């Protein structure tokens, strides 16, 4: 599966772990691909430097998290211009389109309300984990 993770998902994975971090671990397996852009990395750096976030993750923890993410992600420079919202979320949609993502994972309600952009499904962390969960053979649970 080809996935774009919105900055809010990355920040949640950094400071709370749990499901967002589990999603990143699942996507970091060889059969999946994570895509990031310079825009996402700059936004992540800006948000993670905020004093509210630093209460939950030190500079070293943030650097370690970012290093692990980048070792498992492809950096893409979107070429497509998108004008859906007229704000930074268009950058995320452009990345999803240009890397032909299967899913865009976000916590932003207005993005989630789109449900789909071009060929990309827009899903929550929970929906992404569910979609990535291995399907058990029919009758195995019976």
Place of tokens 């993670």: 48
Mean predicted confidence (pLDDT) in 108-136: 92
pLDDT tens-place string over residues 19-37: 999 999 999 988 899 999 9
State pTM to two decimals.
0.90
Q: Which of 88, 44, 46, 51 is nearest to 66 (CA)?
A: 44
Number of domains in the chain: 1
For residues 97 and 129, what is the distance between their CA atoms, to the nearest angstrom?
A: 21
In a domain, 75, yes or no: yes
pLDDT computed for residue 29 by the predictor: 84
Residue 77 forms part of a structural domain: yes
The confidence band for 71, taking pLDDT boundaries of 50, 70 and 90, is very high
CATH of residue 21 = 3.40.50.1010
pLDDT at 136 over 90: no
Domain residues for the domain of 69 are 2-132
């Amino acid at each position: 599966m080809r996935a774009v993770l919105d900055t809010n998902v990355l920040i949640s994975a950094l400071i709370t772990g749990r499901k967002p971090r589990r999603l990143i671990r699942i996507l970091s397996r060889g059969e999946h691909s994570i895509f990031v852009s310079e825009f996402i990395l700059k936004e992540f750096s800006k948000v993670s430097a905020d004093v509210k976030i630093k209460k939950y993750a030190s500079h070293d923890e943030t650097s370690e998290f970012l290093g692990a993410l980048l070792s498992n992600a492809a950096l893409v420079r979107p070429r497509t211009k998108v004008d859906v919202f007229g704000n930074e979320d268009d950058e995320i949609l452009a990345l999803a389109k240009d890397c032909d993502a299967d899913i865009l994972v976000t916590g932003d309600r207005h993005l989630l309300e789109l449900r789909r952009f071009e060929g990309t499904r827009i899903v929550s962390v929970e929906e992404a984990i569910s979609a990535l969960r291995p399907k058990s053979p029919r009758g195995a649970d019976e």
